[in-house]
A and B are shown apart, each in its own frame.
Chain A
């Protein structure tokens, strides 16, 4: 019951006029970011982070999280109308969304996409409301060893769940951790890995890495592919919306299943992209009309969109309750917390009630506002995509530079942004996943601190990570995730003789 009271307090915070304005601005900016190629949720939020420096943390997080919801919505527009996924998690939406648009059913496809996005997000927010406080309360008892084991689990899941080769994931992640160690060591106060360069005293800021790796890198990829946009027209009127809404409840099983898949994948740091693919794949296998998938089946739009939004939203659950972000965008939000002077982790729920519940309340309202905004303004957003890339590209570059500079008012950061951009482009082309690297840069310091404190307590024995039931269980789960591909392969081999 206490949570419900807190939630109402949260709504009272969100309903202040300034916060409502910030919310709408965030949603609109977010949709634009989602629509534009080369700008995604993570780097969009990173670039716009400086805008929030003069706001209160609560308004700031409302704005940034709304940019995130907007970006999630925006990705669907380009997928359906132009067959160009604005975001990686909307790739699966193109499979059936674009054929629907070609058959002249763009309105239905978009309505279905937006509505299922909303349903997925709502499901995840309800989950956050109910579960996050409990997880946080539980996590308050965590010592350094337990904290480290949670980080360990998060990073092992990356290796096990990633589509990319596991050793490339490991390299990418470890380079991230190594970058995080550069500069002043917080425990001993010693300088390390700076090799005498004064620019490296403060280490590498992950926001610079995000803007470079995702922002600049993405523009370079787009330039290489030489994209030209040819797209359908978007017309949504109230009649189409209501007709589609009448049809949607029929697919409640698919919706529910996609919500569950999305939340599961979002909380474990697999993220929205695999969630949308998995949900699409399962829906295709389970549906009676599975054979029609790929030819413009509305269910094929519902499944990935619901899952992507559920995953994107629930990625904030571990970020809020444990301080472990479930996605790169959640990581950027977590970086925001640090900048505003808040300490992420379970204590937030005790010390920063207004902030946490304001954020949760804004998730309910923000997604509702987002749904209304995208349903009414689709043609406007689609028009943005018709602006040629040779105009959009330099403008995005300018915003990347502004974003990178204003993190620390430092020119060297802008140089690093470009370096990260080129590295990101090459690494991405060689199938090195970038998300684990970014998460490692964000969490590196705290993972290391937890690791060293645990070892200090145990006088250097690694046994501390298996010293009690809780930490041992989490570590074993982590190891299972780490070796998941091997376990899966072994299981299939074990099963094969019997089925054959």
Chain B
């Protein structure tokens, strides 16, 4: 087969098969957790008909069975097809990691300050823009958001010490 590395272009990365196995196992685990949780609340008949665990129990069973069936074609698949190149995954992580930090900071510094930081750092770091443009865009967008959500559409968003300081 000549298309072995068509997506990879000769690069390295995790194999598609490996990731597929991981996903199928993860989903089967979710099914198992559903079954256990259902058993805890009862899957039989109670006074008011089917107990709380009745419906989810069978969902869990279906998830486990279907995941098991999904394993069959994965096992027969070639193991040399890449899921993605490491360089591509690095790009993906370049979004996931800053977003995770952003999400973690929102409760403490508020969504507006966190958003300014996220946009500015993202533009500076990944887009290689100058600080002036990065700050202009990030502050501009955030101020617009503040007006749109808090003032025009009356949707309160989490605020932090900075907003308290200005009494907003």
Interface residue ranges, A against B (CB under 8 Å): 50-54, 165, 167-168, 170-171, 174-175, 177-178, 181, 185, 187-188, 190-195, 216, 219-220, 223-226, 388, 390-391, 393-395, 397-398, 401-402, 405-406, 409, 411, 414-415, 417-418, 421-422, 425-427, 429-430, 432, 448, 451-452, 455-456, 460
Contact = CB atoms under 8 A, between A and B. Distances in A.
A401 B102 contact: yes
Interface string B73-107: 10000000001100011011011101110110011
A288 B118 CA distance: 54
Given A223-B94, A224-B92, A394-B122, A418 B34 contact: no
A191 B53 CA distance: 10
A175 B122 contact: no
A185 B70 contact: no
A132 B2 CA distance: 53
A195 B38 CA distance: 11
Contacts of B137: 391
Contact of B145 (A175, A398, A430): A398
B73 to A, nearest CB: 7
A425 B138 CA distance: 26
Q: Which 3 A-B pairs have the closest CB atoms?
A: A390-B127, A193-B37, A394-B122
Given A171-B63, A174-B59, A421-B96, 6 more contacts: A168-B70, A178-B31, A388-B127, A411-B107, A415-B103, A452-B55
Given A174-B62, A391-B137, A422 B56 contact: no
Given A165-B73, A171-B70, A406 B118 contact: no
Nearest to A427: B23
B145 A402 contact: yes
Nearest to A431: B20
Given A185-B52, A418-B100, A430-B23, A391 B123 contact: yes
A456 B23 contact: no
Contacts of A421: 96, 99
22 contacts: A50-B149, A54-B154, A54-B155, A171-B67, A175-B30, A181-B34, A187-B49, A188-B46, A188-B52, A192-B37, A195-B33, A390-B129, A391-B137, A393-B122, A393-B126, A394-B98, A402-B111, A406-B155, A411-B106, A422-B96, A452-B49, A455-B50
Contacts of B23: 426-427, 430, 432
A188 B48 contact: yes
Interface of B: 16, 19-20, 23, 27, 30-31, 33-34, 37-38, 40-41, 45-46, 48-56, 59-60, 62-63, 66-67, 69-70, 73, 83-84, 88-89, 91-92, 94-96, 98-100, 102-103, 106-107, 111, 115, 118-119, 122-123, 126-127, 129, 137-138, 141-142, 145, 148-149, 153-158
Contacts of A456: 48-50
Nearest to A400: B99
B103 to A, nearest CB: 5
B27 A414 contact: no
Given A53-B155, A390-B123, A456-B50, A178 B60 contact: yes
A223 B23 CA distance: 21
B88 A174 contact: no
A53 B91 CA distance: 36
Contacts, number: 185
Contact of B52 (A167, A168, A187, A411): A187
A165 B84 contact: no
Contacts of B62: 170, 174
B54 to A, nearest CB: 7
SS of A interface (majority): helix
A192 B53 contact: yes
A2 B153 CA distance: 36
Contacts of A219: 95
Contact of B92 (A54, A181, A195, A425): A425
A401 B106 CA distance: 9
B30 A178 contact: yes
B14 to A, nearest CB: 11
A394 B119 contact: yes
Contacts of B45: 460
A178 B56 contact: yes
A390 B106 CA distance: 21
A189 to B, nearest CB: 9
Nearest to A417: B103
A167 B141 contact: no
Given A223-B94, A224-B89, A224-B92, A448 B69 contact: no
A54 B98 CA distance: 32
Contact of B49 (A394, A415, A455): A455
